């Protein structure tokens, strides 16, 4: 067994050693145990020790208020940087500052499964409008054998339409039923990457160090300067071979047809990733991202047996390079689809399942904890900093909405008549209500920014504009039922060993 065998572990059952299997299983149970334990402890304390519960609730509400203010500053700063980066002439900067840029190739991977033709075509049109030389773009369209003739038909239509623009355009057909694979984006993309290396990079004798791999979701529409911006940042990076590059995902492709709840989630996701661009030390790869082919090959490509492959590739590289790996923000946007189905009920169902799949990124927690124990070369400070960020993120994902919107009343209802006569029982809901009202100013900020991101034609219809701002009144409801609940669902499944498979989000416009 190789020394770095732990890099390919997806779940406890992958380990042969009983002690290691028990330890990994214990780590899998931590996220759900912590979240359920927090809610359960709060209920218990509200019943038996309401004064203590009240103090803890006040402390948490204050923590959340200051956290919201802190993140709002980052949101504004990130939004401003995005505007600057969109307007910049990156090709000119490349010619002026990095004349060696023409040696850089882009291996662009677009895995797809059952996407409508109009979604795929918009993705390829975005690539076609890129200002980067097309002869240096190695385009691989990954289709699934499981989709059958329809997938082949769409692939050939796209090939006939766009192969003239892209001299190196390859269709990679991912076989169904391969051993040790979870059917999904990760396994499809890994197959596509290996095909691209075999058919393009190898025959052209391109050094791996001069190839940037872009992982794009099938609905990702890149801006015209995306690849030139990425190339510039790659060449200017202090250590490009040990760096992933993360654009800002804007879920706006079909925003006009999305219902209010779907729009809230689309903007909320965009805001979260925009904020994190201002905190590069906390960044982990998400959805569409890029990295050096050298790094991807060194770690043996993406894991094909995990659900959250986009974040897992970061942890693979981080562990493989002994902590000498990071994510650099691009501050450049890529546009993706909001979650929309044929009916409102179907849309809500899909939002829940998509949020649960994203929240299943909690499976990275046992992976990195186990890896941290195996890899003694990673500095403790790095282990703690990134580990705490992942832990805290999934913990608050599942618990914060519940605590914020219900806990202020729990001691009052459960604490008994004696506590209800105290000043603290009277002050608790009033205090938490006022602080949360102030925190709601963050929603005003979100609403203002969301308006600026909307298509220009919506500005001509004032009633629609007002509706887009007013939709944020649904935010508390969505955070409880379509954020906290699916997060708890994912964590409990991990806790019980009822592992999730990859759920493909249906696309509809």
Quote the pLDDT of residue 297: 96
Determine the Cα–Cα distance for residues 375 and 324; give it in Å rounded to an integer: 12
Is 166 in contact with 139 (CB distance < 8 Å)?
yes
Determine the Cα–Cα distance for residues 285 and 277; give it in Å rounded to an integer: 11
Residue 449 in any domain: the answer is no
Beta strands at 243-250 and 169-174: parallel, antiparallel or unpaired: unpaired
| Three state DSSP letters for 492-503 | HHHHHCCCCCCC
Quote the pLDDT of residue 405: 83
Residue 373 in any domain: the answer is no
Beta strands at 211-215 and 221-222: parallel, antiparallel or unpaired: unpaired
Give the DSSP per-residue string, 314-366: HHHHHHHTTT--EEEEEEEEEE------SSHHHHHHHHHHHHHHHHGGGGHHH
Residue 334 in any domain: the answer is yes
H or E element at residue 65: helix 50-87
Is 218 in contact with 123 (CB distance < 8 Å)?
yes
Residue 80 in any domain: the answer is no
Q: How far is CA 359 from the centre of its chain?
A: 9
Q: For residue 459, what are its two tokens?
A: 């500005």
**Total structural domains in the chain?**
1
Residue 56 in any domain: the answer is no
Determine the Cα–Cα distance for residues 146 and 180; give it in Å rounded to an integer: 16
Residue 173 in any domain: the answer is yes
Residue 117 in any domain: the answer is yes
Phi, psi of 439 (to 5 degrees): -65, -25
For residues 54, 58, 63 and 64, what is the CA-based torsion angle, rounded to 10 degrees?
100
CB under 8 A, 24+ apart: contacts of 256-260? 256/455, 256/458, 257/340, 257/509, 258/338, 258/339, 258/340, 258/347, 259/340, 259/344, 259/347, 260/467, 260/471, 260/474
Is 298 in contact with 181 (CB distance < 8 Å)?
no
Report the phi/psi class of residue 105: left, alpha or beta, with left for phi > 0 and alpha for psi in -120 to 50.
beta
Determine the Cα–Cα distance for residues 148 and 146; give it in Å rounded to an integer: 5
- pLDDT tens across 117-170, in order? 999 999 999 999 999 999 999 999 999 999 999 999 999 999 999 999 999 999
Kindly provide the residue ranges of all beta strands, DSSP E only, lying in 163-273, ordered along the sequence. Answer: 169-174, 211-215, 221-222, 243-250
Sequence-distant (6+) residues with CB within 8 A of 346 are: none
Q: What pTM did the predictor assign?
A: 0.92
List average pLDDT for each run of 10 residues in the chain, which is 509 residues long.
81 93 96 96 93 91 87 88 94 94 97 94 96 97 95 96 96 92 92 97 97 96 97 96 96 88 88 89 91 96 89 95 96 94 92 94 95 92 88 92 85 85 84 80 71 67 69 82 94 95 82
Is 304 in contact with 182 (CB distance < 8 Å)?
yes
Domain that holds residue 175: 89-342
Determine the Cα–Cα distance for residues 204 and 181; give it in Å rounded to an integer: 30
Is 386 in contact with 318 (CB distance < 8 Å)?
yes
For residues 488, 493, 496 and 499, what is the CA-based torsion angle, rounded to 10 degrees?
-160
H or E element at residue 137: strand 137-144
- pLDDT tens across 388-442, in order? 889 999 999 999 998 888 878 888 888 888 888 888 888 888 888 888 787 777 7
Around Cβ 365, how many Cβ atoms within 10 Å?
23
Distances in Å between the alpha carbon of 507 and those of 24, 112, 120, 453, 494?
35, 11, 10, 21, 27
Classify residue 238 by burial, with Cβ atoms within 10 Å: 0-12, 13-18, 19+. exposed
Quote the pLDDT of residue 414: 87
Is 327 in contact with 241 (CB distance < 8 Å)?
no
Quote the pLDDT of residue 461: 65
Determine the Cα–Cα distance for residues 379 and 318; give it in Å rounded to an integer: 11
Is 490 in contact with 356 (CB distance < 8 Å)?
yes
Quote the pLDDT of residue 457: 63
State whether residue 172 is helix, strand or coil. strand
Residue 237 in any domain: the answer is yes
Q: What is the CATH number of the domain that holds 194?
A: 3.90.550.10
């Amino acid at each position: 067994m190789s020394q770095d065998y732990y890099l390919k572990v997806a779940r406890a059952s992958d380990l042969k050693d009983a002690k290691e299997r028990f330890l990994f299983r214990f780590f899998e149970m931590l996220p759900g145990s912590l979240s359920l334990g927090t809610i359960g402890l709060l209920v218990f304390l509200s019943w038996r020790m309401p004064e203590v519960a009240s103090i803890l609730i006040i402390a948490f509400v204050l923590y959340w208020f200051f956290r919201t203010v802190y993140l709002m500053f980052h949101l504004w700063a990130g939004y401003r940087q995005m505007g600057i980066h969109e307007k910049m002439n990156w090709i000119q900067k490349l010619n002026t500052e990095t004349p060696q840029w023409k040696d850089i190739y882009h291996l662009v991977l677009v895995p797809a499964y059952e996407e409508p033709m109009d979604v795929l075509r918009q993705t390829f049109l975005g690539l076609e409008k890129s200002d980067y030389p097309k002869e240096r773009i190695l385009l691989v369209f990954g289709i699934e054998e499981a989709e059958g003739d329809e997938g082949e038909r769409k692939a050939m239509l796209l090939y006939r339409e766009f192969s003239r623009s892209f001299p190196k355009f390859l269709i990679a057909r991912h076989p169904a039923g391969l051993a040790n694979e979870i059917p999904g984006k990760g396994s499809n993309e890994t197959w596509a990457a290996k095909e691209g290396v075999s058919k393009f990079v190898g025959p052209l004798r391109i050094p791996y160090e001069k190839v940037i791999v872009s992982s794009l979701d099938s609905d990702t529409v890149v801006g015209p300067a995306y690849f030139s911006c990425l190339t510039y940042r790659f060449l200017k990076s202090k250590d490009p071979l040990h760096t992933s590059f993360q654009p800002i995902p804007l879920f706006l492709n079909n925003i006009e047809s999305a219902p209010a709840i779907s729009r809230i989630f689309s903007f909320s996701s965009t805001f979260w990733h925009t904020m994190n661009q201002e905190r590069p030390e906390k960044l982990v790869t998400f959805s569409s991202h890029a990295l050096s082919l050298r790094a991807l090959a060194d770690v043996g490509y993406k894991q094909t047996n995990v659900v959250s492959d986009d974040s897992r590739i970061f942890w693979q590289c981080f562990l493989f390079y002994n902590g000498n790996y990071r994510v650099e923000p691009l501050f450049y946007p890529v546009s993706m689809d909001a979650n929309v189905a044929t009916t409102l009920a179907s849309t809500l169902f899909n939002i829940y399942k998509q949020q649960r799949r994203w929240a299943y990124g909690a499976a990275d927690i046992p992976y990195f904890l186990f890896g941290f124990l195996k890899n003694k070369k990673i500095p403790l400070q790095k282990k703690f900093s990134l580990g705490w960020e992942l832990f805290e993120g999934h913990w608050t994902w599942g618990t914060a909405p519940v605590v914020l919107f219900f806990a202020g009343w729990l001691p009052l209802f459960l604490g008994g008549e004696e506590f209800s006569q105290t000043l603290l029982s009277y002050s608790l809901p009033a205090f938490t209500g006022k602080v949360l009202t102030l925190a709601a100013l963050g929603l005003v900020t979100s609403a203002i920014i969301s308006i600026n991101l909307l298509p220009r034609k919506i500005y001509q219809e004032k009633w629609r504009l007002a509706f887009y701002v007013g939709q944020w009144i649904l935010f508390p409801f969505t955070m409880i039922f379509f954020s906290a609940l699916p997060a708890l669902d994912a964590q409990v499944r991990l806790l019980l060993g009822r592992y999730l498979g990859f759920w493909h989000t249906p696309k509809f416009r």
